[in-house]
Amino acid sequence: MKTYDKQDFPVSNVRRFLEPGPIVLVSSVWKDKMNIMTMGWHMIMEFEPSLVGCYIWTENHSFEMVRRSKECVINVPTAEIAPKVVGIGNTTGSKIDKFNKFALTAQPAVKVKAPLIAECFASFECRLADGSLIDKYSLFILEVVKAHVARAPNYPRTLHYRGDGIFMIAGTNTARYRKLFRPEML
Amino acid sequence: MKTYDKQDFPVSNVRRFLEPGPIVLVSSVWKDKMNIMTMGWHMIMEFEPSLVGCYIWTENHSFEMVRRSKECVINVPTAEIAPKVVGIGNTTGSKIDKFNKFALTAQPAVKVKAPLIAECFASFECRLADGSLIDKYSLFILEVVKAHVARAPNYPRTLHYRGDGIFMIAGTNTARYRKLFRPEML
C-alpha cells in the first residue's frame, strides 16, 4: 500500500483540502490505545487560529477518546483506499485494533500524541479548542496546530459522501474563474 | 439561463447534496430587500431535525439579514453559473440588488419569506434553530424545513472551493463501494 512522504504545510491554509468536503479519517489515542474513525461532518470555521468544527457521534468509540485526550489527527484519504475508509466506518475500535485490521501505518505526530496515518495524503494535528458544544451538538471545535501534506499530486482524488453508500470522487480542479475574483475575495 | 423545475424532497436527506461540500448561495430577505451571498463553510449536524451549521462572516451584508429574519434559503448552484457565484461573492448587497445584477430569478418559498433561486439545482428553506453561537463563532445552526430538488440530473456538477480562486468541480459518483457497507452504516 502506497504511503505518502508528507511536508510541512501552513495550518492557515488547510481549507485547500478540507473545504471541498472530503470524507476524513480521524485518528486518536487514549490510555495507550489508538483508534480511527471515518468522519464526514466537518467545516472550516476560522483561518487564524485554524479552526475546524467536527461532529463526532456519541456512539463512536472515538467520541470519548477525543473528548478525554483533547487531541486528534484529521487525515485525508484518497479513493485508492476507499475500501479501508468504508471498513473503518463499519467497525468499532472497542472491539478491534483498526490500524492492524486495515493494515494502516501509524506515524508519530509532532505536537499531539495521536498518530498520523502514513497512507493518507494529508494529516492535520488538532487540539480541542472548545469543548463546550460537545454535550449539546456533539460538535468539537478543533484547532489545527500542525499540518503535513504530500508534495504530489497537487490535489488528491478525495472521497465525498452522499449517504446511501454513494461516494462522489473529487473531479477536476480549475483556475479558469480565478480572474473573475476581486483579489481580496480569493 | 436555464432554470430548474424542482420537486419536493425529504429534508432529512439533504446530506445527499450538502455533505460532499459544495459552495452554496444563501438567499435572504429583510425589510423587503432581498440578498444573496456565496458560502463555503457549512456542515450537516443532524438528520431529524435536519440541521445544518453555517458560518456567515459578520462583514457579510447577509449576516444581519439572516440573524434578524431568522430565515434563509440555501441554494445549490452548478458549474454552469460559476461566474455568477464568483460575482455574488465579490459584491455586497449593501450596494446592489444581486438578483437584478446577476440576472437570477427569485421564486417564492413555501415556509419562509426568503426566496428560492430558480437557476439553482436545489433549494433548502431554513429557519434559524439556534442563534446562541453567532456572537462567538458566526455559527448559525439552521433547520431545513422544506427542500426542493430538480429531478435531473441525479447529481449536479457542483462547485467546491479550495481557496485562492481554485474550484474543484464534482467528479463521478459511484456505488461500487456500497456492497462493503454494513446496512446500518449507510
Take residue A20 and report the three cell numbers written for it: 471541498
List pLDDT tens digits, range A72-81.
999 999 999 9
A157 pLDDT tier (thresholds 50, 70, 90): very high
Query: Residue B53: what pLDDT?
Result: 98
Contact between chains at A19 and B41 (C-beta distance less than 8 A): yes
* B48 near A CB under 8 A: no
Chain A residues in contact with B44 (beta carbon < 8 A): 40-41, 55
Contact between chains at B20 and A166 (C-beta distance less than 8 A): no
Residues with Cβ within 8 Å of residue A21, at least 6 apart in sequence = A160, B19, B20, B21, B22, B160
Please choose, from the candidates A79, A158, A21, the residue with its C-alpha nearest in 3D space to the C-alpha of residue B177: A79
Contact between chains at B20 and A168 (C-beta distance less than 8 A): yes
Chain B residues in contact with A172 (beta carbon < 8 A): 168-169, 171
Mean pLDDT of A99-116: 98
Contact between chains at B177 and A185 (C-beta distance less than 8 A): no
A47 pLDDT tier (thresholds 50, 70, 90): very high
Chain B residues in contact with A139 (beta carbon < 8 A): 45, 53
Query: Residue B1: what pLDDT?
Result: 86
> CA-to-CA distance for B41 and A20, rounded, in angstroms?
9
* A90 near B CB under 8 A: yes
List pLDDT tens digits, range B39-97.
999 999 999 999 999 999 999 999 999 999 999 999 999 999 999 999 999 999 999 99
A1, pLDDT greater than 90: no
Query: Residue A83: what pLDDT?
Result: 98
Q: Is B139 strand, coil or helix? A: strand
Residues with Cβ within 8 Å of residue A178, at least 6 apart in sequence = A186, B164, B165, B166
Whole-model pTM: value is 0.97
Please choose, from the candidates B56, B80, B79, B81, the residue with its C-alpha nearest in 3D space to the C-alpha of residue B69: B56
